[in-house]
Structure 1
Amino acid sequence: MLGDGGRIVSILVSEQGEELKIVFDYSEERVHIIKKFDWYRWSSKEKSWYIKNNSESIKQIKLLFKNENVIIESNYSCFNKKALNQMSDALKLKGYSHKTVKSYLGHINRFADFIQKSLYDIDINDIKKYTLYLLDEKNSSHSFVNQAISSIKFFCTAVLHQSHFSMELLPRPKKEKKLPNVLSKEEVINIINSLENEKHKTIMYLIYSAGLRVGEVVRLKLDDIDSKRMLIRISQGKGRKDRYTILSELTLKQLRKYYILYKPEQWLFPGGNGKSFLTERSVQKIFEDACNKAKIKRKVTVHTLRHSFATHLLEGGTDLRYIQELLGHTSSKTTEIYTHVTQKNLSNIKSPLDNI
C-alpha cells in the first residue's frame, strides 16, 4: 500500500466529462504518481487533482495505483447501478440460483467496466470488442466467454428489451471439449486416509461415494440421509432439481461415527456460527490440504471426486443411464464424457510396440 496504507483513492469523472477528478489522502508518493501523467492540474479550491479523461488515463490509473483500493465513479455509474438491480430482479424472478445470479452479475459488472459507458447504450460492437478482449488479452477459456455472452444476452432481453440488434448475429467461441481429470481408487483412498478430522473425512466419503457436487454436500440435512433405503436425497441440486443417489455401507458407518462425535442438529455439516451450513470454500481447502498430504501432484479439485465416482462406476459395469440419474444430468451426452476416460475398454487394447 502507498502512504499510510489502505486509504481509498477515489477517481471521479467531472461533470464536463473531459477530465478525471482524483481525490486521495495526501502522500508524497501519490503526488509523485499523479505527476507521471502527460497532463495534470491541481485545484486548491477543491483539493483535487485533474487529468485527461480517456480510456488510456483510466488504464494508467489502475496500473499506477494497483496496490490501492481504487473506486471509479462516472457520470453513468448511477444508471449502471440501476441496470444491475433490474437484472438481479429479473434473474431472481426467473428462478435462477444464487450462484448463477452472482456469476451473471459479475460478468455484467466486468463488461460495464470495460466499455466505460451506460449499459443502456450498449450495441453489438461493444459486445464483440469485449469478447475479443476476453479471448485475446485475458486469455479466458471459451466456457467463460460463452457464459459472459449468455449473461449479456440475458441482460439485453430481460432489462433492455432490445430488438435493434440480434444476439444471434454475435459469434460464440467454439465449445472446448475437455476430458475430466480422474483419480485412481488408490489415490482416493490415500486422500481420505490423510484426513484425521472425522468431519472432514465424512465430507470426502460422501462426495466420492455418492458423486455429490460440493454445493450439494454442504447443504445436506440430517433427514436427507435415508439409512433404511440406503439413499441420499439431494434437494434442489443444479437446475433446481431433486434427486436420489446411493448411500454406501462404509459411508453410513462413517456418518454414524461422525454423528456421535459432533451431534449436528439441522445441517449435517454446520458452519462456524452453527446457524448455517459449511461454506464451499472450506470444503475446497480441506480437499487441497488432503491432496498435499497424500502427495497428489496432478491438478485436481473437489469436483474430481465426482468425476472419479462416475468413471469408477462405469469401469465396474454400471449402465450409463443409471450413472446419469445418480449424477443428476439432464442430458445423456453430459454423462457420455466418462466413456472417454474409462480404462474399461482401453485396457483391452495392446500397443503395437508390445507386439514387436
Structure 2
Amino acid sequence: MKQSYIILFKPLPNAKRIKLKIPYEFHDIRSRIKKMDSSYWHPHQKLWSLVNSPENMEYIKAICKTKIRVSHAQPYRPIPKVRMNEAGIEALLKLEKTLILKRYSQNTIQNYKSMLSIFLMKFRDRDLAQVERQDIESFIFDFIKKNGIGESMQNQLINAIKAYYEHVLKRPKAFYNIERPKKASPIPNVLSEQDVIKLINTPENLKHKAILWTIYSGGLRISEVINLRIEDINSKDGYIFIKDSKGKRDRKTVLSPSLLPLLRSYYISYKPSYWLFEGRFGGQYTQGSVRKFFRKALEDAGINPWATVHTLRHSFATHCIMNNVNLRHVQNMLGHASPRTTQIYTKTIEINNKKINSPLDRLLNMSNFTNNTQQV
C-alpha cells in the first residue's frame, strides 16, 4: 500500500499563512491543528492553514514528525505579469472614465481595472470587439485550472469583463451572461464579546482606539468610518449618519452613549477640521492605516489572527441579535437592502447548553425519567 504523507506547502516570502494538505487517515494531527486559534479550513482548496510564524512552523514539524513532506508547489499560482500594450491601456482608461461618470466608488473602479488588466493581457493581440462569449468562458476556465483562483476572484473577473462590454462597448446582456460559480453561503467570522472588548481597548493611541470603538459600536464598514464627517455624529438625537454607503444608500446607525466621551476626548486632542478621522497632515485617514493598526492590535491582544476589520461589523450584528435587537433594526443599521442578507447573522450565534435547552431535557423532566448515564 502506498504510504500517505502530510503535505506542507513551503510559504512564499512574506506569506501570511502556512498551508497544509492533511490526508483523511491522520485524524489525531488534523484534530490538533483544528484546535489551534489561527487554524482555518479552506473548503475549495481542501487545505488547512495557520498563521505563518516560526512557532507554528516548529509546532507543525513537532506533531507531524516523519509523516510530513515539504512541497515547493503552491496551491495558488501567482498571475504572470505581461506588459500592457497601447490598446490595453486605452481600454482601461475608457472603463475608468465610464465608471467615474456612473459614480462608481473608487475602490470598485480600481478593482475592476485590476481584474480587466488580467483579461487584457490574455487578449492583447486581438480586437476586443471581436472576442466572442465562448472565448471569454474558455479564458476563465483556463485561468481557474492554471492559477487555482477561488470563487470570489472568478466573480470579480466576470464583473470587470461584464462592465467593460456592457458600459464601454454597449453589448447586449446575452453577450456577457457568462457562467458563474455556484454561490456559497459561508458563515461570517465573529469574535466573542470578551474578545471584542479586549481588542478595541488594546491600542494606546487615542485615534486608533476611537476608530475601533466607532466601527464596532455602529457596525460600520472600513470605508464608512474613514468617510465620516464631524457633522455625521449627531449626539443630540443619538445616531451616526452614513452618507453614500455601499449601493449609494444613506442610512443612520446607533450612536453609543459610551462612545461619545471617547470621541469628545479624541476631538479635543486631535482637532479634526472636516473629516472625523484625519491623517497626520490632514485629509481622510486611509484604509491601509486602519488595517495596519488593527493587525497590531490583534497581535498585542492575542486575538484570532484570522479576523479582519470587517469582523467587527460581523460581530456587531451578531451581538445585536444575541441581545434581542429587532432584525429589522439590525438590517437598517447595517444598510442591507434585503432582510435575507441580515439573516445570515442568525447562524453565527454561539450554540451551547448554557444558552439553549435541548428538547431532550424538557421531555425527560416532563416524564420524570431517570437518566442512567452508566448504561450508555
Note if 1:273 corresponds to 2:281: yes
Deviates most, 95-104 or 302-311: 95-104
258 and 174 in structure 1: CA distance in 2 versus 1, 3 angstrom threshold:
same
| Unaligned segments of structure 1, at least 5 residues | 1-62
Q: Distance in 1 between matches of 2:216 and 2:90?
A: 43
Output aligned runs, 1:168-183, within 5 Å. Answer: 168=177, 170-183=178-191
Structure 1 counterpart of 2:281, one-letter code? N
308 and 92 in structure 1: CA distance in 2 versus 1, 3 angstrom threshold:
same
Specify the SS of the correspondent of 1:245.
strand
Cα offsets for 1:34-87 (capped at 9, x unmatched): xxxxxxxxxxxxxxxxxxxxxxxxxxxxx9xx9xxx7625xxx22222222222
Q: Distance in 1 between matches of 2:195 and 2:136?
A: 44
**Corresponding residue for residue 151 of structure 1:** 160
Output aligned runs, 1:226-305, within 5 Å. Answer: 226-274=234-282, 276-305=283-312
Structure 1 length-normalised TM: 0.74
**Corresponding residue for residue 218 of structure 1:** 226
* Rg (Cα) greater in structure: 1
Structure 2 counterpart of 1:114, one-letter code? K
Q: Distance in 2 between matches of 1:84 and 1:91?
A: 11
Kept in 2: contact 1:88–1:105 (CA 8 A): yes
Q: Distance in 1 between matches of 2:139 and 2:308?
A: 29
Question: Among residues 313, 320, 324, which one is paired with 2:320 in the alignment?
Answer: 313
Specify the SS of the correspondent of 1:166.
helix
Note if 1:131 corresponds to 2:176: no
Q: Distance in 1 between matches of 2:320 and 2:210?
A: 20
Kept in 1: contact 2:299–2:305 (CA 8 A): no
Deviates most, 276-285 or 145-154: 145-154
**Corresponding residue for residue 30 of structure 1:** none
- Percent of pairs identical after alignment? 39
128 and 265 in structure 1: CA distance in 2 versus 1, 3 angstrom threshold:
same
Query: Cα distance, 1:158 vs. partner?
Result: 1.9
Question: Among residues 157, 169, 178, which one is paired with 1:160 in the alignment?
Answer: 169
Kept in 2: contact 1:184–1:308 (CA 8 A): yes
**Corresponding residue for residue 323 of structure 1:** 330
Structure 1 counterpart of 2:109, one-letter code? V
**Corresponding residue for residue 58 of structure 1:** none
Specify the SS of the correspondent of 2:243.
strand
135 and 189 in structure 1: CA distance in 2 versus 1, 3 angstrom threshold:
same
71 and 124 in structure 1: CA distance in 2 versus 1, 3 angstrom threshold:
closer
Q: Distance in 1 between matches of 2:348 and 2:262?
A: 29
Q: Distance in 1 between matches of 2:262 and 2:116?
A: 44
Deviates most, 339-348 or 215-224: 339-348
Kept in 2: contact 1:87–1:155 (CA 8 A): yes
Structure 2 counterpart of 1:309, one-letter code? F
**Corresponding residue for residue 121 of structure 1:** 130
Q: Distance in 2 between matches of 1:164 and 1:272?
A: 46
Kept in 2: contact 1:143–1:176 (CA 8 A): no
- Which of structure 1's runs of 4+ aligned residues deviate more than 3 A? 162-165, 344-347, 349-352
Kept in 2: contact 1:320–1:335 (CA 8 A): yes
Specify the SS of the correspondent of 2:164.
helix
Cα offsets for 1:253-284 (capped at 9, x unmatched): 1101111211111111111321x110001001
Q: Distance in 2 between matches of 1:146 and 1:337?
A: 21
Q: Distance in 2 between matches of 1:282 and 1:298?
A: 17
Cα offsets for 1:164-219 (capped at 9, x unmatched): 96323x31111121110000010011112211111100000000000000001011
Q: Distance in 2 between matches of 1:131 and 1:71?
A: 17
| Unaligned segments of structure 2, at least 5 residues | 1-76, 361-370
Q: Distance in 2 between matches of 1:307 and 1:164?
A: 34
Note if 1:72 corresponds to 2:83: yes
Structure 2 counterpart of 1:159, one-letter code? V
Q: Distance in 2 between matches of 1:71 and 1:177?
A: 35
Cα offsets for 1:93-152 (capped at 9, x unmatched): 222111111111111111111333333332223311222134222222212211211221
Structure 1 counterpart of 2:327, one-letter code? L
Q: Distance in 1 between matches of 2:311 and 2:173?
A: 44
Q: Distance in 2 between matches of 1:249 and 1:151?
A: 42
**Corresponding residue for residue 21 of structure 1:** none
Structure 1 counterpart of 2:300, one-letter code? K
Specify the SS of the correspondent of 2:250.
strand
